[in-house]
Amino acid sequence: MIADEASTEFHAFFERHHSELARLAYLLTGEPDAADDLAADAMLALWHRWDRVRRADHPLAYARGVVANLARGRVRSAVRERRRVLLFWQHRTDRVDNPDVASVVDVRSALARLPLRKRACVVLRHAFDLSEKDTALALGISVGTVKSQTAKGMAELEKLLGARVGAELTGRRR
């Protein structure tokens, strides 16, 4: 089998970035099993458009955007499924109103509580240490939206985790 230049480039891209894209998918969905699947689906989508992607100014940013879109679709699907399950079990009488949620909330569960765009901005900015511009490029949104969504997401995380923990996450001092 003779590998052409595009195949070689894609293989190198895959080797360099697959694990990072899987980690991004994990942080966006909170599902370790889904992370590899989403990264693989993203790579397949990239392969199908590789001629266009390889000519792009920022192929990795494009790839991150694909992962974010696939994660968004997965999250939306999960929300729809939860709604269907809730409708099905709504008639049960052993529901608990006002459950005691005074337990410690870890970062992953706190991130899972954020809306996807805020979560994506916070994860890309702080976990992946991307600039506002690179985050905007990856998500297909403006730099101003990245700034506001990141600030709002961090404020929500600080409420969920406490101000001290939120400051530690971002390296800020209070």
Residue 96, phi then psi, degrees to nearest 5? -110, 120
99-174 topology per CATH: Arc Repressor Mutant, subunit A (1.10.10)
Q: Where in the chain is the domain with CATH 1.10.1740?
A: 1-95
Residue carrying structure tokens 């001290």 = 164
* Cβ–Cβ < 8 Å for 91, 134: no
Q: Where in the chain is the domain with CATH 1.10.10.10?
A: 99-174
26 has pLDDT over 90: yes
Please report the pLDDT score of residue 138 as a whole number: 86
4 has pLDDT over 50: yes
Please report the pLDDT score of residue 85 as a whole number: 59
Q: Does domain 1-95 have CATH number 1.10.1740?
A: yes
Q: Average pLDDT for residues 151-157, to the nearest whole number?
A: 92
Q: Output the pTM of the full model.
A: 0.56
